[in-house]
Amino acid sequence: NIEKFKDYDHRNVVVNCLWDNEKLHDDMIKPMFCSWKETVVFSSSLLHALITDEKKISRSSMRHMLASIQANDLLTPMETLVNERRKTNASMSGPKKYYYSVYRDLLFLSFVAIGTENIDHMTFDREYRRAYDVITSRQQNVLSSVDKPPSVGAIFCRRFFKRLKLKPTIAHTTNICGSRLSLK
């Protein structure tokens, strides 16, 4: 069976190094960058109010976080995200869903909403580390080990190897039944 692959070479293979795999979002609270990319279409405001997922962070909150990030202030969005998660945890019933790291959630939201070319990744890392170091002990209780700033080794690897990308933005709409439709 290996014979059919014999004629393949570098012209037949494309490798894309991605930061994210959307199939991993099933058992977790949806990351902010996915919520940012979605366009929800509803025929009435009443229907929108009934269907809106209260576990999602509002677009308005995300805009405030992005404005702070653009001003090199990661403490404010970090505190906002931690407080939103605390409220969500308190209101959830049933099996606990998990979150992506605060670092990842803020970084990916920045990449999608502002653009990777407009984010200085090294500055983002430095400011995230500063914010993480001063966040209050009450907020530290909501954080876990995955929320820590990236290690020196991780930063080195990111600089040494090919730059990773988020999957190209595809507009999504959600119909009233909740199924996702991809638009091209």
The whole-number pLDDT of residue 166 equals 67
pLDDT digits (tens, 9 = 90+) for 137-183: 667 778 888 899 999 998 888 888 766 666 654 443 333 333 333 32
Lowest mean pLDDT among 13-27, 57-71, 114-128: 13-27
- Judge whether 183 and 173 are in contact, CB under 8 Å: yes
DSSP single-letter state for residue 56:
S
Q: What is the helix (H) or strand (E) element at residue 27, kind and residue range?
A: none
- The pTM for the full model equals 0.70
| Alpha carbons 104 and 24: distance in angstroms, whole number | 14
The whole-number pLDDT of residue 12 equals 75
Give, rounded to a whole angstrom, the gap between the first and last alpha carbons of the chain.
Answer: 36
pLDDT digits (tens, 9 = 90+) for 92-138: 666 666 678 899 999 999 998 999 889 998 899 999 999 999 987 66
Residue 183's SS3 state is coil
Query: In the chain, what are the domain boundaries?
Result: 2-182
Residue 173's SS3 state is strand
